[in-house]
Chains A and B, each alone.
Chain A
Amino acid sequence: MRRRVREALVGYLFSAPIIIAILAFTIVPVFQALYYSFTDYDALLQQKYNYIFNPEFSLQDYLVVLLDEEKPSLQELLERFDPVDFIEYTFGFELDNKQKEILKNYFLSEKLLKDFLDRKLNKDMRLKDFMARYLKTGKRYFTVYRPHIIGFENFKKLFKDRYFWIALKNSAVFSLVVTPIQTFLALILAIAANQKIRGVKFFKTTFFIPSITSSAAISMIFLLLYTKPGLINRLLGVFGVPPVDWLGNTKTALPAIMAMNIWTTAGYFMVTFLAGLQNIPSSIIEASEIDGAKGWTRFWKIILPLLKPQIIFVVTLGIIGTLQVFDQIYFLIRSQENITVSMYIYQNAFSYGKMGYASAIALIFFLIIFTVTFIQRKIMKEERFW
Chain B
Amino acid sequence: MRKFLVSFLIVVLVVLSFSEVVVRLGGWPSSPTEEKALQEAVDKFNEMHKGEIKIVYEPIPGDYRVKLTAMLSAGTAPDIFYLDVNWAEEFFSKGIIQPLDLYIKKHGLDLEDFYPSLLNAFKYKGRIYGIAKDFSTLALFYNKKMFDEVGLKYPDATWTWDDLLEAAKKLTRDLDGDGKIDVWGLALYPDAFNRVIPFIFQAGGKIVNEDLSTALGEPEAVEGIKFYFDLHNKYKVAVSPQDVGAGWLGDAFGKEKVAMVMSGPWMLGFLRDNFPNVDYGVAELPKYKERATMIYTVCYAIPKTCKHKDEAFIALKYLVSEGMKIFTERLGVLPSRKSLAEKELNDPIKGAFYKGVAYGIPWKVPTPSGISSKLIDEINTRFLKIWNGEMSVEDAVKEIVQHYDEWVK
Contact = CB atoms under 8 A, between A and B. Distances in A.
Contacts of A334: 191, 380, 384
Interface stretch (A14-22, A180-188, A223-231, A373-381): A223-231
6 contacts: A50-B75, A92-B92, A93-B94, A336-B377, A336-B378, A351-B65
B66 A47 contact: no
Interface string B295-321: 000000000111101000000000000
Contact of B242 (A54, A91, A228): A228
Nearest to B101: A61
B187 interface: no
Contacts of A54: 309
A91 B95 contact: yes
A332 to B, nearest CB: 11
Contact of B95 (A48, A50, A351): A48
A42 B94 contact: yes
A91 B371 contact: no
A350 interface: yes
Contact of A43 (B72, B87, B244, B388): B72
Given A228-B245, A250-B385, A53 B94 contact: no
Interface in A331-377: 334-337, 347, 350-353
Contacts of B99: 92
B247 interface: yes
B288 to A, nearest CB: 27
Q: Give the most central of A249, A250, A334: most B CB within 10 Å.
A: A334
Contact of B384 (A93, A230, A250): A250
A227 B306 contact: no
Given A92-B95, A248-B190, A351 B244 contact: no
Nearest to A233: B245
Q: Is the interface of B mostly helix, strand, loop or mixed?
A: helix
Contact of B94 (A92, A229, A230, A337): A92
B243 A44 contact: no
B308 to A, nearest CB: 8
Contacts of A270: none
A42 B70 CA distance: 11
Given A43-B69, A46-B72, A229-B245, A352 B95 contact: no
Contact of B247 (A61, A223, A336): A223
A124 interface: yes
A334 B240 CA distance: 13
Contacts of A91: 95, 304
Contacts of B380: 334-336
B280 interface: no
A45 B91 CA distance: 10
Contact of B371 (A46, A92, A347, A353): A353
Interface residues of A, number: 39
Interface string B360-399: 0000000000010110011011001101101000000000
Nearest to B246: A227
Interface of A: 42-48, 50-54, 57, 60-61, 91-93, 124, 223-224, 227-230, 245, 247-250, 334-337, 347, 350-353
B34 interface: no
A43 B377 CA distance: 21
Given A46-B72, A249-B388, A347-B377, A52 B95 contact: no
Contact of B75 (A46, A92, A335, A351): A46
Contacts of B74: 46
Interface in B120-135: none
B90 to A, nearest CB: 6
Contacts of B307: 52, 124
A71 B381 CA distance: 59
A43 B73 contact: yes
Given A46-B72, A228-B243, A124 B309 contact: yes
Interface string B76-114: 000000000001001111111001011000000000000
A307 to B, nearest CB: 41
A91 B305 CA distance: 11
A125 B151 CA distance: 69
Contacts of B190: 248
A53 B304 contact: yes
A51 B305 CA distance: 4
A227 B247 CA distance: 9
Contacts of B304: 51-53, 91
Given A228-B244, A350-B65, A350-B66, A250 B95 contact: no
Contacts of B388: 245, 248-250
A271 B143 CA distance: 52
A43 B99 CA distance: 20
A48 B305 CA distance: 8
A248 B240 contact: yes
Given A46-B72, A335-B191, A245 B243 contact: yes
Contact of B374 (A42, A53, A250, A352): A352
A53 B95 CA distance: 13
Contacts of B373: 347, 351-353
B90 A353 contact: yes
Contacts of B73: 43-44, 46-47
Contacts of B247: 223-224
Given A47-B75, A52-B309, A335 B384 contact: yes
A47 B385 contact: no
Nearest to A350: B66
Interface in B234-263: 240, 242-247
Nearest to B68: A44
A55 to B, nearest CB: 13
A44 B73 CA distance: 5
B364 to A, nearest CB: 14
A216 B378 CA distance: 25
A60 B106 CA distance: 12
Contacts of A248: 190, 240, 242, 384, 387-388
B191 to A, nearest CB: 6
B373 to A, nearest CB: 4
Given A223-B247, A245-B242, A351-B65, A44 B72 contact: yes
A228 B181 CA distance: 13
A44 B381 contact: no
Contacts of B242: 227-228, 245, 247-248
Contacts of B385: 250, 335
A44 B69 contact: yes
Contacts of B75: 46-47, 50
A93 to B, nearest CB: 4
Contacts of B70: 43
Contacts of A351: 65, 87, 373-374, 377
Contacts of A247: 242
Contacts of A47: 72-73, 75, 96, 305
Contacts of B95: 48, 91-93
